[in-house]
Structure 1
Amino acid sequence: MRVSTQIIFDQNMKSMSQQQSAFMKVGNQLATGRRVVNISDDPQAASRAVNVQQSKATTQQMLDARVSARNNLSQQESVLNGLGDMITRSKTLLVQASNGAMSELDKASIAAELEGLYEAMIGQANVTDGVGRFLFAGQKDDSAPVVKIDGRAQFVADIVPREQFIDDNRKMTVRDTAERVFAAAPGSTTYHVKVDSANQGTLVVNSTNVLDTTNPQFGEKFTVAFADDGAGGLTYSITTAAGEQATGAFNAGDAIEFGGLRFATSGTPSAGDSFTAGRAAEMDPNLFRTMEDVIQQLRQPLETDEQRAAQRNVLSESMRELDHMLDNILTRRASVGSRLNELDTLDLVGNNRLLAYEQTLSDLVDLDYVKAASDYSMRMIGLQAAQKTFVDIKGMNLFDYLR
C-alpha cells in the first residue's frame, strides 16, 4: 500500500494532539488537586462522589440545626435557673408572712416585693431570643405567650411546643410553651388542697399526710363539704367523680381521713364550706394565679377570725403550689439538660460521620500527587517526542536523495 505524505502528516498531527491532550489533563489535575475533574475521567467514582456529597450536605445541615436547637435550649435553661431562684425567694417571703407577729404594714411590704417578683416572672415568660422571637411561645413565637387581661395574667390558647429535626430520624422539642413551664406540674403522689374562697367559717387545712398509697381510692380527686346535722353540729361528706363516697360527724379540729390520706384541720367550718384535694397536676396549678392571689390576700385588712383563716389558707396553699411549681421547674431543667446532652452526643457522631465522608470523597476524587507528578513528566516527554518526530518528518524531502 502506498503511504502518502498527507497520511503521514495526519498521523503525526493526531499523535501530537493526543499527547498534548493527555499532558493538559494531567496538568489540570495538578492544578485542581483532583483526580476526577470531569465526569468522563471516572464515571463510577463521579457518581459515588455525588451521593457522598449529598450525604455530607445533609449531615452538615443537621449540625447547623443542632446549633440552633442548642441556642434555644441554653437560653431556656438560663431562664429556668433564674425562675427557680424567684420561686425560692417567693416561698421565703410567704414563710415570713405566715408569722403571726407580722403587722399589716410588714405584710404590705412583703406583698410589694412579691409583686416585683410576679412582674419579673411574667417578663421571663415573655422573654425573647436574639432575633425577637418569644422563647416560650412554641410554634407561635411571633407573639407573647402571656398577656394581662383585667390585671390577671393569661396564657394564650392553642400554643404547642416547637419541634425540629436534629438528625435524620430524630425530632426534638426546642421551644417549650409558657403554660407547660409556668402552669403544668409533674404527676406525682403529692396532693394539693384548695379551700373554697367562698367559705364563711374559720376552717384551716394545716397539712396533708399520706397514710396508705395502696388504698383503692388513693390518687382520686375529691371534695369535702360540710353541712348542718340539724342538731347544732356539723357533718361532712366526701364526693369523687363517681359520687358520694363517705360521710361522718365533724367537730372543730378533727382530722379527716380518706383514700389513704389524712388532713389535719383547725378552726370551725360553716355549713356549706368545702375544700378540694387532688394530685398536684389535677388542681390546675398556675404560678401567676398563685402569686396574684397571695399578693391580693396580703393586702387585705384582717378584722375577723374568718378573714384570718382565709389568709392562712391562702398562704398555706400558695406555699404548697410554689413547692409544686419549683418541682416542675427542676423537672423542666432536667429535661433541657438531657436534650443538651443528646445534642452533644449527636454532634460527636455527626463530626465523625463528616470525617468519614471526607475520607471517602478523597479516596474517590482526590489526586495522588506523586503519581500525577510522574505522569506529568511522562506526558511531557511523550509530547516532546511527538513534536520532534513531526518536525523531523516534516523536514524530509525525496529530492535530497536524487543527485
Structure 2
Amino acid sequence: MRISTVTMFDQSVASMNRQQSDFLKVSQQIASGRRVVNPSDDPQASSRAVGVGQAKAITQQYADARVTARNTLGQAESVVNGVADGITSAKTLLIQAASDTLSDVDRQSIASELRSVYETLIGQANATDGNGRYLFGGYSDDAAPFARTSGEGVSGTTYMGDGNTREQRIDASRLMPVSDNGITIFQSVPSGAGYVARAERESAPAEPNGLGVQDGYYANAGSVTFTSGPNRVDPNAEHFGKPFTINFNEEGGEIRVQVANPDDPDELIYDQPYESGKTVSFGGISITLEGEPEGGDQIHVRPADDEGANQDLFKTLKDAIDLLEMDQEDTAENRAHFRNTLNTAMRELDNSLDNVLTVRASMGARLNELDVVDAVAGNRMMNYEQTLSDLVDLDYAQAISEYSLRQVGLQAAQKAFVDVKGMSLFNFL
C-alpha cells in the first residue's frame, strides 16, 4: 500500500497535538491542584461535586446565622442578668424599708433609690441589639416596647410590643428563638409561683382614709394584716388553684371571716369568728391574720398567674415607690396598709425574679445549644470537604508521574515527526 507524504505529515501532527493536549491537561491539573478542571474531565464526579458544594454553602449560611443568633442571645442574656440584679436591689431596699424604726423621711429616701432602680429597669427593657432593633419588643420595631403612661390607676408603663418571639433558623431542622418578648420577661411569673395576697376592698369605706383608689380597689378601713402566707398546704384540696376573697363581715356585733366557693359565690367554704393571730385555712392554702378589721374589709388571695393578679414588674415597683412616699400619719390603718402592700410587693418581686432567672436559664440553654449545633455542623463541613476532595482534588504523586510520561510521549512524537519529515528521495539524489 502506498502512503503519501501528506498522510505521514497529517498523522505526525495529529499525534503531536494529542500528546500536547494530554500534557497540557496534566499541567493544568498540577497547577490548579484539582483532578477535575472541567466538567468534561469527569461528568459524574462534577455533578456530585455541585451537589456537595451547594450543601456546603447552605451549611455555611446556617453557621453565619448562628453567629447572629449568638450575638443577639448574648446581648439579651446580659440585659436579663442586669434585670435580675435590679430586682435583687429593689428587694433589698424593700426589706430595709420594712423596718419600724424608719421615719417617713427615711422611707422617702429609700423611695428615691427605688425610683432609680425603676428607671434603670425601664432602660434595660427598651434595650436594642446595636442595629436599632429592640431586644424585647417581639417583631415590633417602630417604637420602644415599654412606654411611660400617666394618669390615675395605671402602672406607669404600657407594653407597646407584640406577643411574638423573634426567631432565626440556625439549622435545617431548628428554628430558635433568639430573644424573648417583654411580656415573657417583665409581665409574667413562673409556673408554680403560688398565691399572692392583696389587702383591698371593692367598696369605699364609710370614713375615707385618705389612701385613695388603686386599680379600682380601696384600702381597707381596719388594721388587719397578713403576717404569714398565703402558703400552699394541700395541692390536692378542692378548689386549690382558684382565686379566693377573704371577707370580714360584721354579724351580730362580731367580725366573721368568710370565704366563698370560687365556683359558687352563694356557698361559703370557710365561716369562722375572727381571731387575731389565727391561721385561716381553706382551699389547700393557709394565711395568718392579725390586727383589727372593719366590716367590708377584704383580702384577695389569687394564684400568681391568675389574670386578676399583678404580674407586671413595673407596676410592682411603681406601687412600692408610691407606698414609700406615703405619709403614714402614725395611724394603725395606714401602718397596716403599708405592711400589707409591702409584703405583697416583696412576694411579687420574688416571683418576678424567679421568672427572670428562668428566662435567663432558657437563654443560657439556647447558647449551649448553639455550641452543640456548631460542633455538629463543623463535623458535617469536614465531611463535605473530604467528599469534595475525593471527587475533584488531585493525587499529586500520580499526576507528577503522568506528567513525566506525557512529557516523554510529546518529545517522542516530536522526534518521530522530525525523522519522518527527513524521509525524502531528494536527499539521496
TM range (shorter): over 0.9
Superposed counterparts of 1:257-272, under 5 Å = 257-272=281-296
CA contact (8 A) 2:244 2:302 kept: yes
Residues 342 and 112 of structure 1, relative CA distance in 2, 3 Å threshold: same
The reply to whether residue 161 of structure 1 matches residue 150 of structure 2 is no
Report what 1:246 is aligned to.
Answer: 269
| Aligned twin of 1:285 | 311
Q: Return the match for 1:274 from 289, 294, 298.
A: 298
Query: Deviations along 1:283-337, whole A, 9 cap, x unmatched?
Result: 2311100000010111111123222221111101000011111111111121111
Change (3 A) 1:146 1:189: closer
Letter in 2 for 1:100: D
- Superposition pairs of residues 217-366 of structure 1, within 5 angstroms: 217-243=239-265, 244-253=267-276, 254-282=278-306, 283-303=309-329, 304-366=331-393
Corresponding residue for residue 224 of structure 2: 203
TM-superposed deviation, 1:245 = 4.5
Q: 1:242: how far off?
A: 4.9
Task: Decide which moves more: 375-384 or 27-36.
Answer: 375-384
What residue in structure 1 maps to residue 50 of structure 2? 50
**Residues 124-149 of structure 1, C-alpha deviations (whole Å, 9 max, x = no match):** 10111222221112222453111111
- Once residues 136 and 237 of structure 2 are traced to their aligned partners in structure 1, the CA distance between those partners, rounded to angstroms, is 39
| In 1: Cα distance, 2:141 partner to 2:60 partner | 26
CA drift at 1:383: 1.2
The answer to whether the 8 A contact 1:189-1:219 is kept is no
Does residue 1:175 correspond to 2:198, yes or no? no
- CA–CA separation in structure 2 for the residues paired with 1:347 and 1:55: 16
Q: Please tell me whether the aligned partners of residues 140 and 159 of structure 1 are also in contact (alpha carbons under 8 angstroms).
A: no
Q: How does 1:349-388 map to 2 (within 5 A)?
A: 349-388=376-415
Amino acid at match of 2:299: F
Q: 1:186 aligns with which of 190, 193, 197?
A: 190
Assess, with a 3 A threshold, how the Cα gap between structure 1 residues 276 and 157 changes in structure 2: closer, same or farther: farther
Q: What's the CA shift string for 1:80-118, capped at 9, x where partnerless?
A: 222212111111111111111110000000000000000
Residue 119 (structure 2) pairs with residue 119 (structure 1): yes
Partner secondary structure for residue 343 of structure 1: helix
Partner of 2:72: 72
Match of 1:17 in 2: 17
Q: What letter matches 2:183 in structure 1?
A: E
Q: 1:63 is matched with which residue?
A: 63
| Cα contact 2:97–2:107 (8 A) shared by 1 | yes
Q: Is the 8 A contact 1:226 1:269 kept in 2?
A: yes
The 1:113–1:119 alpha-carbon spacing in structure 2 relative to 1, beyond 3 Å, is same
1:148–1:241 CA distance, 2 compared to 1 (3 A): farther
Distance in 1, Cα, partners of 2:246 & 2:161: 32
**Matches of 1:126 and 1:34, distance apart in 2:** 54
Q: 1:243-289: CA deviations, max 9, x gaps?
A: 44524134252432111111111223333322222222222311100
Q: Quick one: distance in 2 between partners of 1:25 and 1:142? A: 60
CA contact 1:221–1:278 (8 Å) conserved in 2: yes
Instruction: From the two aligned structures, give the one with the greater helix fraction.
Output: 1
Q: In 2, are the aligned partners of 1:104 and 1:301 still within 8 Å (CA)?
A: yes
Offset at residue 235 of structure 1 (A):
4.6
State the match for 1:86 in structure 2: 86
Match of 1:26 in 2: 26
Distance (whole Å) between structure 1 residues aligned to residue 24 and residue 10 of structure 2: 21
Whole-angstrom CA distance in 2 between matches of 1:189 and 1:131: 36
2:147/2:160 contact within 8 Å kept = yes
Aligned partner letter, 1:105: V
- Residues 18 and 242 of structure 1, relative CA distance in 2, 3 Å threshold: farther
**Structure 1: how far apart are the matches of 2:14 and 2:53?**
38
Give the TM-score of the pair, scaled to structure 1.
0.95
Using the TM superposition, name which of 237-246 and 121-130 deviates more: 237-246
CA distance in 2, matches of 1:142, 1:34: 52
Shift of 1:239: 4.0
Structure 1 residues 358-367 or 189-198, which shifts more? 189-198
In structure 2, do the counterparts of structure 1 residues 288 and 189 end up closer, same or farther at CA, with 3 Å as the change threshold?
closer
Over the aligned positions, Cα root-mean-square deviation in angstroms equals 1.8
Percent sequence identity over aligned pairs: 48
Give the deviation of 1:203 after TM superposition.
2.2
Q: In structure 2, what residue type is equivalent to 1:168?
A: A
d(CA) in 2 for partners of 1:361 and 1:354?
Answer: 11
Partner of 2:207: none
Render the CA deviation track for 1:132-191: whole Å, top value 9, x for unaligned: 221112222453111111171111153311111111101111110111111111111521
Runs of 4+ in 1 over 6 A off after TM superposition: none
